[in-house]
Amino acid sequence: MIKNLHKKKYKNIFETISKKVDPISYNNNKKATNLCFYEKNNDNNIEKFFINENMFRREIDVYLYLIDKNIVPLSSTGKQKIIYSTSDKIPLYTFLKKKDTNIKYILNNLFSFVYKFKKINFIHGNLHLYNIFLDENEIFSVIDFSYSRFKNSSNIDCFYKNPYLIDLYLIYIELYDFYKNNKIIILYLQDLLLSYIDLNDLKQIADDINKS
């Protein structure tokens, strides 16, 4: 059985502030760097604000790289903020809570979506259930690129020994916690993960993350 080998603790100076806003912003803030924070605007879109201008510019660079890869929502920018158009989408967490969800079908599509990152030389680096969204057609998109790397980044190959498989493992960790009381889904998740990642690579990935 694959164990939940890693559960990273996240802290953010905006966590107290975010408790006053919506759950999506709150949970994104919990897992964000201290140099940015999230809010939902009046149009029900997610806004990400940056304290650090270099981080803001870097997020824009990553977004522009991804815009034609069909994995990100349309976005706009303001003064050191990026506005993700998520008003017509719901976060993965909310979607999985729906009683009528075909869980196995969605999980299969989710892993296929994340594996697509490898094909476009992209590492998200911070996947969780609140920065992955689905639209009414159950098409996935992702936001939040503070920890991301892509092919033009000089350190992508040394980020981890198996950098392009990190995101699959990260989303597995999130789903493991979400379904920890559902043994059938946990077993399904383990089989699903092993259909994408060799067991030896999986152990290496867990070691790499635990050391980071």
| Rounded Cα distance, 150 and 143, in Å | 15
Position 114, amino acid: V
> Of how many residues is the chain composed?
212
Q: What is the dihedral of CA 18, 62, 192, 107, to 10 degrees?
A: 50
Give me the residue spans of the domains in the chain. Answer: 15-211
Look up residue 116 and give its two tokens.
Answer: 């697509």
Longest Cα pair distance anywhere in the chain, in angstroms? 48
Say how far residue 95 (Cα) sits from the centre of its chain. Answer: 15
Residue 201's pLDDT is: 80
Identify the segments of the chain with pLDDT beneath 50: 1, 3, 5-10
Look up residue 195 and give its two tokens.
Answer: 């259909």
Residue 7's pLDDT is: 47
| % of residues, the chain, pLDDT over 70 | 83
Contacts of 51-56 spanning 24+ positions with Cβ under 8 A: 51/80, 53/80, 55/146, 56/80, 56/81, 56/82
DSSP E strand boundaries for 9-131: 36-40, 46-50, 75-78, 81-84, 90-91, 122-123
| Rounded Cα distance, 186 and 2, in Å | 9
Q: Does domain 15-211 have CATH number 1.10.10.10?
A: no
Residue 48's pLDDT is: 96
Residue 160's pLDDT is: 63
Say how far residue 97 (Cα) sits from the centre of its chain. Answer: 18
Among 20, 49, 23, 17, which residue's Cα sits nearest to residue 35? 49
| Rounded Cα distance, 128 and 147, in Å | 12
Residue 153 CB: number of other CB atoms within 10 A? Answer: 17
Residues facing 34 on adjacent strands = none
State pLDDT tens for residues 62-83. 999 999 999 999 999 988 999 9
| Rounded Cα distance, 25 and 38, in Å | 5
